[in-house]
């Protein structure tokens, strides 16, 4: 009797889990679910591209400063800025 109750409870639990999983999958397959999934993916892609561009700009700026310091062009820039202010 206890075995039957155990297997009955096990079957009911597994059945409930399967129904929940299928419900989620069916909601994803609707046009609204697909739209939501695509918008989330596009948002993550845009954030990744934005982060990449920020990193690339920061790296380029650092490299530009290094090159100006190594070639001595940094002092020419300050002279040019002083001339344009006048």
Local confidence band at 76 (pLDDT 50, 70, 90 cut-offs): low
- What was the pLDDT predicted at 29? 84
Please tell me the pTM assigned to this model.
Answer: 0.52
Domain residue limits, the chain: 2-30+37-71
Of the ranges 24-28, 40-44, 72-76, which one carries the lowest mean pLDDT score?
A: 72-76
Secondary structure class of 1 (helix, strand, coil):
coil
Which DSSP string do the residues of 37-81 spell out, in sequence order? HHHHHHHHHHHHHHHHHHHHHHHHHHHHHHHHHHHTHHHHHHHHH
* Residues in Cβ contact with 16 at an 8 Å cutoff, skipping those fewer than 6 apart: none
Q: What angle do CA 7, 8, 9 make, to 5 degrees?
A: 90
More confident residue, 72 or 48: 48
User: Is pLDDT at 62 greater than 80 in this prediction?
Assistant: yes
User: Is pLDDT at 5 greater than 80 in this prediction?
Assistant: yes
């Amino acid at each position: 009797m206890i075995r039957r109750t155990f297997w009955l409870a096990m079957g009911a639990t597994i059945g409930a889990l399967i129904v929940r999983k299928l419900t989620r999958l069916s909601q994803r397959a609707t046009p609204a679910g697909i739209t939501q999934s695509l918008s989330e993916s596009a948002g993550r892609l845009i954030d990744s591209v934005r982060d990449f561009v920020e990193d690339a700009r920061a790296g380029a700026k650092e490299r530009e400063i290094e090159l100006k310091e190594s070639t001595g062009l940094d002092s020419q820039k300050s002279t040019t800025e002083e001339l344009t202010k006048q």
